[in-house]
Amino acid sequence: MLDLQFIRENIETVRSACRDKRASVDLDGLLGMDRERREAIQKADQLKAERNRASEEIARMKKEKQDASGRIAAMKAVGDEIKGLDERIRNIEGSMHDLLIHIPNIPHASCPVGGPEANRIVKEWGKLPEFDFKVQPHWDIGPALGLVDFDRGSRLSGSNFVAYFGMGARLERGLINFMIDLHVQKHGYREVWVPAVVRREMMFGTGQLPKLEEDMYHCGKDDLFLIPTAEVPVTNLHREEIFDGAKLPVRYTAYTPCFRREAGSYGSDTRGLVRVHQFDKVEMVKFVKPETSYDELENLLGNAEDVLQALGIPYRVLSLATGDMSFAAAKCYDIEAWAPGLGRWLEVSSCSNFEDFQARRMNIRYRPEKSGKTEFVHTLNGSGLALPRTMIAILENFQTDEGTVIVPEPLRPYLGVSELKPGT
């Protein structure tokens, strides 16, 4: 969340951010409450100082055997007024907090302004495959090879859940292991394994709550949420902590299952693996010094690109416009892989810099020097990658005219085969 003093001193910047991110927040109301609160605090402080002086005077009067009943009665009235002011301050602060948590992060100056139509392509990699046969979508290829069963998945849990069989399950597991190994061995991340359910305050810390609560799976009895991404538990690993600045950056990678209701998602995206309610994902999370965070974002993007380049999947990188960016992000790149069977680009990764927005919510700081004043870290995360659409890209880009799928070279040690055939 944004610092209140920053909002006071940069109100037009905050107004612009709310407008560009399509957020409606009563900023004038917030500033009005802030003035009222500060006036109440000033009045309460004056009365408390008066009460302290009176207490000393009453003690002296009692010591000198003087009648202090009048002063005591007057101070009781002052005490009641202070109590009323303190209650008023608490109520104002509660109302202010309800507004503050709905103010989005400030977009970086380099972000395009507008909705999804303003997203800017900043990079393209790989040659789109050409086929001399009719290209099949993954929802035909997968079941034909016995890799994925959409009907049985839906039978177990409802629409948009899937079940993998045989080499389909092994391909899923192989992709996860390949990505984790790449990020650990080549990119220098430390692997972590985290819970798939978290407390409400963890979801608030990374910015999913309150805005996206309707899109989350909630366990009401325990007030726990199934995680929508490993970003939530991994970033919260260091909540309420102070890093030694000499040890930054800290980089983690994690595999988790992810759960999203995908409320409001209709049309062709509900078919196949394009938009499912439970999916696997490998995540990368960074805690860095503010002055390095945008260099770290470019590095993070490169780490995600390495996965697709190793697999030989064509992709493009988009710099997201302000109206298409997440509530908490200051800048975000989307990586989209080419799916020839669908004839479209599919997002497989989002790489974001949140600056100190999440860190303020979680109170994650660092000390530049052992004796120095603490500062908030900058947090970043990126998918490295999301599995369902990566699976789509593999099945559709590497299909053959015989109905088989060529396994990308880096995955062959994990699968033990070079081609996916019926019955494998």
The residue annotated as part of the active site, out of 319, 349, 350, 383, is: 350
Burial of 217 (0-12, 13-18, 19+ CB in 10 A): middle
Q: Which of 145, 186, 164 is nearest to 309 (CA)?
A: 186
Q: CA geometry: angle at 316 spanning 345 and 229, to 5°?
A: 75
The residue annotated as part of the active site, out of 37, 251, 365, 389, is: 389
The residue annotated as part of the active site, out of 170, 251, 275, 361, is: 275
316 is catalytic: no
User: Cis before residue 385, ω within 30 degrees of 0?
Assistant: yes
88 is catalytic: no
Considering the domain architecture, whether residues 149 and 286 belong to the same structural domain is answered as: yes
Q: Which two tokens stand for residue 40?
A: 């109440």
Q: Is residue 109 part of a domain?
A: no
pLDDT at residue 268, as a whole number:
54
Which own/partner pairs from 47-55 qualify as long-range (CB within 8 Å, at least 24 positions apart)?
Answer: 47/78, 47/81, 47/82, 47/85, 48/82, 50/78, 51/75, 51/78, 51/79, 51/82, 54/78
CB 154 within 8 A of CB 269: no
Q: CA geometry: angle at 142 spanning 138 and 147, to 5°?
A: 150
Considering the domain architecture, whether residues 162 and 283 belong to the same structural domain is answered as: yes
pLDDT at residue 264, as a whole number:
55
60 is catalytic: no
Phi-psi region at 240: left, alpha or beta (left = phi > 0; alpha = psi -120 to 50): left
Last residue of a domain, one of 75, 100, 125: 100
Domain hosting residue 16, numbered range: 4-100
Q: Can you give the pLDDT of all 424 residues of the chain as single tens digits?
A: 999 999 999 999 999 999 999 999 999 999 999 999 999 999 999 999 998 888 888 888 888 888 888 878 888 889 999 999 999 999 999 999 999 999 999 999 999 999 999 999 999 999 999 999 999 999 999 999 999 999 999 999 999 999 999 999 999 999 999 999 999 999 999 999 999 999 999 999 999 999 999 999 999 999 999 999 999 999 999 999 999 999 999 999 999 999 999 765 555 577 899 999 999 999 999 999 999 999 999 999 999 999 999 999 999 999 999 999 999 999 999 999 999 999 999 999 999 999 999 999 999 999 997 768 999 999 999 999 999 999 999 999 999 999 999 999 999 999 999 999 997 7
Q: Is residue 68 part of a domain?
A: yes
Q: Is residue 108 part of a domain?
A: no
CB neighbour list of residue 94: distance below 8 Å, 6 or more residues apart: none
Q: Is residue 106 part of a domain?
A: no
Considering the domain architecture, whether residues 80 and 154 belong to the same structural domain is answered as: no
Q: Is residue 44 part of a domain?
A: yes
CATH of the domain at 68: 1.10.287.40
CB neighbour list of residue 169: distance below 8 Å, 6 or more residues apart: none
pLDDT at residue 59, as a whole number:
87
The residue annotated as part of the active site, out of 262, 347, 375, 419, is: 347
Looking at the DSSP bridge assignments, the partners of residue 292 are none
Considering the domain architecture, whether residues 253 and 193 belong to the same structural domain is answered as: yes
Q: Is residue 105 part of a domain?
A: no
Instruction: Provide the domain count of the chain.
Output: 2
Q: Is residue 110 part of a domain?
A: no
Last residue of a domain, one of 100, 131, 156: 100
Considering the domain architecture, whether residues 20 and 148 belong to the same structural domain is answered as: no
Considering the domain architecture, whether residues 212 and 260 belong to the same structural domain is answered as: yes
Considering the domain architecture, whether residues 313 and 191 belong to the same structural domain is answered as: yes
Last residue of a domain, one of 73, 100, 127: 100
The residue annotated as part of the active site, out of 37, 170, 251, 260, is: 260
155 is catalytic: no
Considering the domain architecture, whether residues 360 and 265 belong to the same structural domain is answered as: yes
Considering the domain architecture, whether residues 147 and 216 belong to the same structural domain is answered as: yes
Q: How far apart are the first and last CA of the chain?
A: 50
298 is catalytic: no
CATH of the domain at 230: 3.30.930.10
Considering the domain architecture, whether residues 208 and 341 belong to the same structural domain is answered as: yes
Considering the domain architecture, whether residues 40 and 79 belong to the same structural domain is answered as: yes
Considering the domain architecture, whether residues 301 and 351 belong to the same structural domain is answered as: yes
Q: Is residue 406 part of a domain?
A: yes
pLDDT at residue 115, as a whole number:
97
